[in-house]
Amino acid sequence: MGELKKLICPKCGHTVKFYEGVGMLWYFIDKNAFYPPKNSTDINFYKELDKKMLEEIHNFLKESEDVSVEAGYQPYICKKCGKIVTKIDFTIGSGNKIYTPAYTCNCGNEYAKLTEEEQQHVLCKECGSEMMCELTGFWD
Ligand SMILES: [Zn+2]
Ligand SMILES: [Zn+2]
């Protein structure tokens, strides 16, 4: 089960919502998740990833056999401008090769994973106060 979380600034009220973890169906993910979906009910990342990344993934898959895929939602933070987003974090493995995504913020800086520990110490990008992290729900 995945978690829905919220960061709230106690001083200015600035709020950021994000989610993380894996849903039940996510355990059955395979490489088809990176190609256009056949059924609307399939777990599919095709629409959520940008073209360039899909190209890299397709090249990786073309050269690989016995591929295993693990994926989950993960919050990321841009340490330059403070933006927090939820992205799919995944690992495609084949033998001793792996592919993992690198996401870039609109400001040009590369996003870093926002770990559970760091979620407790996020500074508000509006006013600089330490934000409070709350668990607000779950998703499958
Ligand atoms: Zn940024
Ligand atoms: Zn604030």
What range does the domain containing 69 cover? 2-139
Distance 15 CA to ligand 1 centre (A): 17
**pLDDT (tens digit, 9 = 90+) per residue, 45-83?**
999 999 999 999 999 999 998 999 999 999 999 999 999
Distance 109 CA to ligand 2 centre (A): 22
Ligand nearest to the CA of 104: 1
Provide the β-strand partners of residue 6: 17, 134
Distance 95 CA to ligand 1 centre (A): 34
- Around Cβ 81, how many Cβ atoms within 10 Å? 12
**pLDDT (tens digit, 9 = 90+) per residue, 74-121?**
999 999 999 999 999 999 999 999 999 999 999 999 999 999 999 999
What element of type H or E holds 28?
none
Per the structure, how many domains does the chain have? 1
Distance 139 CA to ligand 2 centre (A): 28
